[in-house]
Structure 1
Amino acid sequence: MGKAVSKLSKDDIKQLTDATYFDKRELQQWYKGFLRDCPTGQLSEEEFAKVYKQFFPFGDPTDYCHYLFRVFDLDGSKFVDFREFILALSITTRGTERQKMEWSFKLYDYQRKGHIKYNDLLPVIRATYKMIGPMVELPEDEQTPEQRVNKLFNLLNKNKNDNITLEDFIKLSRLDPNILTSLNSYQGLV
């Protein structure tokens, strides 16, 4: 699927219907839209951020998009092709709760170490706060990114030097309802 073509091949459709929660018709529609927005068949991080800016006009999603883009860019090519795009979209919109948690964990585990430390979580939370801007009213104990990260570590009875594993993250999503809410925010959009 390296080069942009006007249609998905039968092989591509078969592979993608097997790997996603989309049917043939949906895949063809998404592909047509993807090529309309990305005629080269590849989405750069800058283009990715431009799209996100439309959804967050009162904040700056650039930093957040940097971390998010890394989750989409499965092969580390610095571009997202249609396959990478549709795999991420499938999980975030129609995946199981576990799949969504695993996918979200990768957002914070941007160094791909298999665990998250305090200093991994903090820049992503800072980027999130910068993205949402002043439009969201935050709880008293989450007014700053540092407070939010401290709260998450405290919920797990961990200190700043401890690791958060995927299983810890899953446990955390049950302790903090905002995590599950954000994981399900794309559900029903497609």
Structure 2
Amino acid sequence: MGGKQAKKTTTSTELTPKQIALLKANTKYSEKEIRDWHAGFMKDCPSGRLDKKKFVDLYSQFYPNGKADKYCKYAFDTFDANHDGSIDFEEFLLAITATSQGDLNDRLEVAFDLYDISNDNQIDQKELATLITAMYDLVGDADRKGDKDPKKRAADIIAKLDVTGDKKLSKAEFVAGCKSDPVIRQLLAPGV
């Protein structure tokens, strides 16, 4: 009794050599950059996990004139890869990488995943209108009349990008449509 010591385990707040190797292999970041990102993440999330509330708080800092909660609900669910209700450092850095370092196709595929609320590999008009509304809220855009009405805009986008005529967008239709139409890409995937 008491003679055995508990085996020391690495907490989620420490980066292991294996994690660093994995992140280096899946990002363009150097070990130093990964450690810098990790230090910043740990400063904001001392537990090593980013919950939905903190996620919304962080987004709200970038969009002080908008309402981040609706948009963040969908973004958080997209980035919480293992669906455990929080984002750990690996999920965080891989999400940052996918949205900033990936080639255009990769970044548009992440945008598609964000819009595919039902996770059925298609975006219907309701999903598209929901996310357009959330994006308007995020940036504080209250003008939603005429061509800016989210439902009308969603219907117009689907009509323009839907190659198969099923009134839904597949990932291929979404990516191809955003690549060929810079106006739609700017609306659906700003900064991509």
Q: TM-score, normalised to structure 2's length?
A: 0.85
How many angstroms apart in 2 are the aligned matches of 1:59 and 1:160?
Answer: 35
Contact 1:21 1:95 in 2 (8 A): no
Task: Using the TM superposition, give the Cα deviation of residue 161 of structure 1 relative to its aligned residue in structure 2, in angstroms.
Answer: 6.0
Q: Give the structure with higher Rg (CA).
A: 2
Q: Give the paired residue count.
A: 183
Equivalent runs, 1:64-75 vs 2, <5 Å = 64-75=71-82
SS at match of 2:123: coil
Question: Unaligned regions of 5+ residues in structure 1, if any?
Answer: none
Task: Using the TM superposition, give the Cα deviation of residue 110 of structure 1 relative to its aligned residue in structure 2, in angstroms.
Answer: 2.2
Percent identity over the alignment is 28
The residue aligned with 1:178 is 183
Contact 1:64 1:127 in 2 (8 A): yes
How large is the RMSD of aligned CA atoms in angstroms?
2.5
Task: Say whether 1:156 aligns with 2:164.
Answer: no
Q: In structure 2, do the counterparts of structure 1 residues 157 and 180 end up closer, same or farther at CA, with 3 Å as the change threshold?
A: closer
Q: In structure 2, do the counterparts of structure 1 residues 78 and 178 end up closer, same or farther at CA, with 3 Å as the change threshold?
A: farther
Task: Using the TM superposition, give the Cα deviation of residue 180 of structure 1 relative to its aligned residue in structure 2, in angstroms.
Answer: 3.6
How many angstroms apart in 2 are the aligned matches of 1:83 and 1:128?
Answer: 26
For 1:169, which of 163, 174, 179 is the aligned residue? 174
SS at match of 1:164: strand
Q: In structure 2, do the counterparts of structure 1 residues 114 and 41 end up closer, same or farther at CA, with 3 Å as the change threshold?
A: same
Task: Say whether 1:77 aligns with 2:77.
Answer: no
Contact 2:158 2:168 in 1 (8 A): no
Name the amino acid aligned to 2:158: F
SS at match of 1:57: coil
For 2:48, which of 35, 41, 61 is the aligned residue? 41
For 1:12, which of 8, 13, 19 is the aligned residue? 19
How many angstroms apart in 1 are the aligned matches of 2:128 and 2:52?
Answer: 21
Equivalent runs, 1:1-190 vs 2, <5 Å = 3-5=11-13, 7-134=14-141, 142-156=147-161, 162-181=167-186, 183=189, 185=191
Higher relative contact order (CA 8 A, sep 6+): 1
Question: Unaligned regions of 5+ residues in structure 2, if any?
Answer: 1-8
Deviates more, 1:154-163 or 1:79-88: 154-163
How many angstroms apart in 2 are the aligned matches of 1:54 and 1:4?
Answer: 26
Q: TM-score, normalised to structure 1's length?
A: 0.86
